[in-house]
Structure 1
Amino acid sequence: MTDDIDQPAGFELTNLGPGPSGLMAKIPEPVRAFFARPVVRGIIAGLLIAASMPPWGWWPLAFAGIAVFDLLLAGASVKQRLGRGFVTGLALFVPTISWISQLTFPGYLIASLAYALMVGVAAMAVPPHWGRRPALIGAWVLCESLRSAWPFGGVPLSLLAVGQVAGPYAPIARVGGVLLIAVATLALGLFFSAALSGEPRRVMVIPLLASALLSLLAMVAPKGTDTGRTVDVAYVQGGGPQGTRAINTDERKVFERHLEASQDVPPGLDLVLWPEDVVDTDRTVQEAEEGRELEELAAQLDATLIVGTVEGVSNEEFRNSSQVVTAEGEWIDQFIKVQRVPFGEFVPFRTLIEKVAPDTLASRDATVSHQSGLLTTPEAKLATVISWEVFFGHRARSGVAAGGEILYNPTNGATYTGTLVQTQQVASTRLRAIETGRWAVQVSPTGFSAFVSPTGEVFQRSSQVHPRVEVRRGMPLRDGETWYVRWGDTPARVLAVLLLAAGWVLDRRWRNRPLDLGPVKGGWGRLRLPGA
C-alpha cells in the first residue's frame, strides 16, 4: 500500500490499517501464504469454475472460483492482471474443452491458449480498486459473448451458465440467455468475495441484491404458452461404440442399427426422430437405397420420420441436414446445418495444420446454409438445431421465432469418448428449452438422448452406447415469445458494457479522492493517490 502513495519528503506512513479481516482473519497463516501466490490462486479459481460445469456439475463451486479470481485482481497492475487472468483461463479451459483433442490435438492446444488469453485480456480491462467488481462482471460477460462468436464462428463452451443450469439461476435464461445467467452468477460470487474481505455490509449487499433482482425478473417473465395441441413423439438411439470416426466406420452398420432399433417404436405415434448423420450417402438420400428404406419405415410406422443425413456434394464438400419423410413416403422438408464445428466440419488453417497433423483432419468441409432451422411437418413445426448448434442460443431462437413449437436437437457424439461433451450438450439443450419456452428432444446414436421440459427438467435420458427407444405421449406444442426470443443477448451485452464503464468511473473517483491520514505533526495529512 505504501508503495502506491506519493509521500512527502521525510514523511513515513506506518500502521495504515489492520491485517486480514473478516473471514480471511480466521484462515491459518500457512494457508493464507499458499493462497497469496498468484499462480496458485489463478489455478484454483479456474479449476473451481471448471468443476461447476458438466460432467462434474458442482455448480456452487463457480461462486467460490469467482470470489478467488476477484481477490486475485485486487490491487494488481495491468501486466499482473493479464498474467493472472491467463492462468485462470488456462485452468478453466484445459479440462473443460479437452474433447477437442479427439478431433485435433493441435487445435485443442491452440484453442486452450487462445481462450485463456481472452480471459487475460478481460482481466486487463478490470480496474484494480473500487470499480473492480462491476467491471469484472462486464468484462467477463463480454469475454463470453466474444468467445461465442469468434473465432471460427465461436466456441460457446465453458460458459458459466452451462454449470448454473443445474442451479437456481437457470430460469434467468428466459430473460437474457446465458449471458444474463453469467451476470447473476458473477454477482453472487462477488458477494462472497466481499464477505471474505470483511467489507462493509453496504458493499456486500449490492451484488446480492442484483442477483436477487434477476431471479425476480425470471419469475415474472413470459414462459411461452401451450397451444392446446399435443403430439406423441419417439426418439430412436441406435447404439454403437464411442470414439469412432467417419473414416474408419462402416456407415451402413450405423444406418442398420437405427433401422433395427426403430422396430421397437410402438404404433400410433405422430413423430419419430432419428439422430444426426446416421444416413450417409454419396448423393442425395432420395436417390440412394437408404432413401427407399426410410420411406418404407415411415409407412410401416405410419408416422412422420425425421432423419439426420450426410450427403456428398463434391470431393471437397458434404451437406449435413435433417430431412422429413411422411408416412406416405413424401420428402417434404429439409434443414441444412448453419453452424459448423471447427476442425470437425471445417478446418481453419487447413494448409498449415495438414503439414503437422494430416491424419486428424476431416477430408471435406460441410456446406453452410442460411435457414432459420424450422422444419414443418403435418403434425408440428420443429425448431431444429443440429448437434453443435445447440450450444448457440441464437440458433434455437431463430427456429422458434420462425414458428417452432418444439425444439429438436439431432446430434452425433460417437466421435467422443467419455461424457464430457455429451453432458455439456444435455445442459445446453436444457438452456435452449428454458430460453425459448419449448419442449425439447435431444437424440444421439450413442447417447445421451432425452426429453427436456420448458423449465429445463430432463426426462427419459438414455444411457450411452446401448440402443434405446423412448416415447413421450401428449407432448404440448407451444407458442409465444420469451424475452430472450424477443431480444436475444442484446440486453445482457448492453448491461455488460455499462457495468464495465461504471467500474472505471468508480475507479477514477477513487483515485481522485484525497486520502485522509489523520492527525500528523503540523496538521492533518491529506495525500492523493498516483494517477489523480
Structure 2
Amino acid sequence: MTLPPRVLAEPGAGPEPTARPLRPPVAVALAVAAGAALLLALPPYDLWWLSPVGVALLAAAVHRRRLRAGFGLGVLAGVVLFFPMLEWTRIAAGWLPWTLLAGLQALYVGLAGLAGSWLSPLVDRWRALWPLLAGLIWTTSEFLRDRTPFGGFPWGRIAFSQGDAPTLRLAAYGGAPLVTFAVAAAGGALVALAWRRWSPRTLLPAAGFAAVTALLLAAPAALPLTVPGGDATTVAIVQGNVPRLGLDFNAQRRAVLDNHVNATRALAAEVAAGRQKQPGLVVWPENSSDIDPLQNADAAALIQSAADAIKAPILVGTLQRTEVPGDIYNVGILWRPGTGPDHAQQYEKRHPVPFAEYMPLRSIARLVSDKADLVRNMLGGDEPGVVDTGAAVLGDVICFEVAYDGIVRDVVTGGAQILAVQTNNATFNEAEARQQLAMVRLRAVEHGREALMVSTVGVSGFVDATGDVHDSTGFNTAAVVVRDMNLDGPRTLATRSGARPEAVIVFGTVVALIGVLPLRRRRGTINSDGVQVSEER
C-alpha cells in the first residue's frame, strides 16, 4: 500500500492538517480489489481470509476523501462484489432485475465507504480506533441492508463467508452481527498496520495492530461451542431433482412430485431389505409438490403412498391455494403415514421474497421485465416454523428465510430441536445453493442446533453444531441421504441475547458518526489535491 506524502505517523499525534488521501487512480484500484476480495471470500470460492483484506482495502481507498468520493468508491466495490455474486438471479429473471438488485445492494457498500470518509478525522487523531470503527461501519451497513427495502436482502454478509474460519464460532456468542464485526475490525487493524511510515518509533504500534488482527481472526478457535448432547433421531432427506433447470420448473410439477415419491419408495425398499436405517422422519424440499395436495386427490394419494411405504412422517414442501384466486402460501406440511396431512403441524413461509414470490409494484415491474406476471401473489404466515413430528421438533425455515436472523432465532426460542431448511434451487445454480448452505452452517453454530438443508436439485446435506457439513449431495442430481441427528442442547448466548448485540453495535456507530462532528469542524476542508483549504467549516 502506497502511503500518501506528508503524513504524521505517530499514533495520538493529533490531527494531520496537511495529510493527503491516496491518489485517485490508486483509490479506484483499491476499491475494485476490495470488491473482488469480498466476492472471493464467499462461496463458491470460500477464501474466507480475504474478507478482512477487502475491508482494509476499501478503508484505505476512502480514508480522508470527500464524502461523495467515499460513497462512489464504496459503490464501485459493491458493484464488483454483488454483480458476479448475484448473477444467478439473471437465470430466472433476466438481466434488468439482476442489475437493479445488484445495483441496490452496491449502494449499501457505498454507505460504508461514505461512513469511512466521514470518520477519517477520528482515525487521524486516534489511529487505534480504526479496527473499532471498521467493525461498526460494516455491521451497521449490513443491519440496514438486511431490513430495507421490502424487508431487506441479507445475501453476501461478511459473516456468511466465514464457514471455514475460526471466527465462525463467534456466531454462538453474538450471531452473524458479531462475526461480521470481528472480521471487519480485523480489516481495520490491517489498514491501521499498513497506513504508516515505517521507523523504529512505529514498530511497537505496528506490532499491536498485527496482534489485534491475529487475535480477532485466530483466537475464536479456542471458544467452546454448545453441542447437542441429548437423544438422537434418524432423518432422511430426499432430493428428487427436476426434469429441467430453469424458471419453467413449475410446468413440471407433476414430474417433480413423482421424483420425490419414487425416491422415497426406493428408500423404503432399502429399509425393508435391511440396507438402510429406518428413518423417524423424512424431509422433502420446498416445491416438492407444487400441486396442492389438499385440493388435488391424486397428489394427496401419491404423498400418502410414500408416507405409508416409508412408515414415517414426511415434511412436504408445497403451495396452498386460498379462497382468493391467485393468492397462495408456501408451506411445509407434515404428512403422517396412515392418517395423512397434520394441519396442526404446518408452517407458512413468513417472509416471501419481494419481486420473486410476490410483486410489490406489479404495474411498474411489468415495465422492467416481461416475466413480472409469472410471479404469483404469495402471502406471508405469522407463526414461527415449529413443527412437532413426533421423532423431533423441527425448526422449519423455507429457502431465503435462512438469511434472516430473527426468523431462524424464533424457531429455536419456540422449542426447535433441529433446524430444517427446505429450499428449491432449480431456478438458480450451484453457486447460489452453496451460498445458502454457508448460511445454514452459521445458523447451526449460532443456535447450537444440528441442521439440514434439502433442495429439489441440490446442494443438500447435514450440518452439525460446529458448522461442519456431512453427506452433502451434488447439484442437478437425485439423491437420498440418511443420517442420525442429535437433538436439543442448551441455548447459546446468541440465542438468549437475540438482537441486542447488533443493537449495541448500531448504537455505537451512531455515537461515532455524531461524535466526529467537532473534529470535522476543526479539521477544515481538503481540496482535490488533498490540501487543507480552511480551518473552519
TM-score, normalization by structure 2? 0.84
Q: Per-residue CA shift, 1:18-71, capped at 9, x if unaligned?
A: 99xxxxxxxxxxxx9998433222111111111111111111111221111111
Distance 1:16 1:114, change over 3 A: closer
Q: How far apart, CA to CA, are the structure 2 residues paired with 1:37 and 1:447?
A: 42
Equivalent in 446, 457, 470 of residue 459 of structure 1: 470
Rate the CA distance shift 1:204–1:87 in 2: closer, same or farther, 3 A. Answer: farther
Q: CA deviation at 1:288?
A: 2.5
SS of 2:48 mapped into structure 1: coil
**Residue ranges of structure 1 left out of the alignment (5+ in a row):** 1-14, 20-31, 515-526
Question: 2:225·2:445 contact (CA, 8 Å) conserved in 1?
Answer: no
Relative distance call for 1:408 and 1:17 in structure 2 (3 A) is closer
Aligned in 2, Cα 1:484/1:17: closer, same or farther, shift over 3 Å?
closer
- Identity among equivalent pairs (%): 27
CA distance in 2, matches of 1:48, 1:362: 36
Q: Match for 1:55 among 38, 44, 56?
A: 44
What are the residue-to-residue correspondences of 1:170-185 with 2, within 5 Å?
170-185=168-183
Aligned to 2:102: 112
**Alignment root-mean-square deviation, CA:** 3.0
Instruction: Determine the structure 2 residue equivalent to 1:278.
Output: 288
Contact 2:242 2:456 in 1 (8 A): yes
- 2:394 corresponds in structure 1 to 382
AA in 1 matched with 2:496: R
Contact 1:222-1:483 within 8 A present in 2 as well: no
Partner of 2:114: 124
- Provide structure 2 residue ranges, at least 5 long, that are not aligned to the other structure: 10-20, 124-128, 272-277, 525-531
Q: 1:373 to 1:204 in 2, by over 3 A?
A: farther
Residue pair 2:167, 2:182 contacting (<8 A) in 1 also: yes
Aligned to 1:414: 426
Residue 64, structure 1, aligned to residue 53, structure 2: yes
Query: Helix, strand or coil for the counterpart of 1:250?
Result: helix
State the 1:204 CA deviation. Answer: 6.1
- Where does residue 519 of structure 1 map in the other structure? none
Equivalent residue, structure 2, for 1:95: 84
- Equivalent position SS for 1:478: coil
Residue 68 of structure 2, aligned match among 71, 79, 92: 79
After superposition, residues 367-516 of structure 1 pair within 5 angstroms as 367-417=379-429, 419-473=430-484, 475-499=485-509, 501-502=511-512, 505=515, 508=518
Contact kept, 8 Å, 1:270 with 1:379, in 2: the verdict is yes
Question: 2:257 pairs with 232, 255, 258, which one?
Answer: 255
Residues 206/489 of structure 1: CA separation in 2 closer, same or farther (3 Å cut) = farther
> Which stretch of structure 1 is more off in the superposition, 352-361 or 76-85?
352-361
> Which residue in the other structure is 1:236 paired with?
238
Answering whether residue 213 of structure 2 is matched by residue 202 of structure 1, we say: no
Q: Larger deviation: 202-211 or 136-145? A: 202-211
Equivalent in the alignment of 1:187: 185
Q: Which moved more, 1:502-511 or 1:341-350?
A: 502-511
SS at match of 1:497: helix
CA contact (8 A) 2:247 2:427 kept: yes
- Would you say the 8 A contact 2:121–2:523 is kept in 1? no
Query: Aligned residue for 1:355?
Result: 367
Contact 1:139 1:500 in 2 (8 A): no
Instruction: Tell me the CA shift for residue 462 of structure 1.
Output: 0.3
Q: Tell me the distance in 1 between the aligned counterparts of 2:406 and 2:486.
A: 23
Report SS of the residue matched to 1:129: helix
**How far, CA to CA, are the matches of 1:464 and 1:388 in structure 2?**
18
| 288-297 or 407-416, which deviates more | 288-297
1:488 maps to amino acid = G
Bigger radius of gyration: 1
Q: Is the 8 A contact 2:183 2:216 kept in 1?
A: no
Pairs within 5 Å for 1:126-141: 126=116, 127-131=119-123, 133=130, 134-141=132-139
Q: Give the TM-score taking structure 1 as reference length.
A: 0.85
- In structure 2, distance between residues paired with 1:529 and 1:206: 32
* Contact 1:409–1:441, Cα closer than 8 Å, also in 2: yes
Worse-matched range after superposition: 271-280 or 346-355: 346-355
Match of 2:297 in 1: 288
1:298 to 291, 298, 307: 307
Q: Distance in 1 between matches of 2:80 and 2:67?
A: 20
Q: Equivalent residue of 1:324, what SS?
A: strand
Task: Tell me the equivalent position of 1:12.
Answer: none
- More displaced stretch, 77-86 vs 397-406: 77-86
**SS of equivalent residue, structure 1 residue 182:** helix
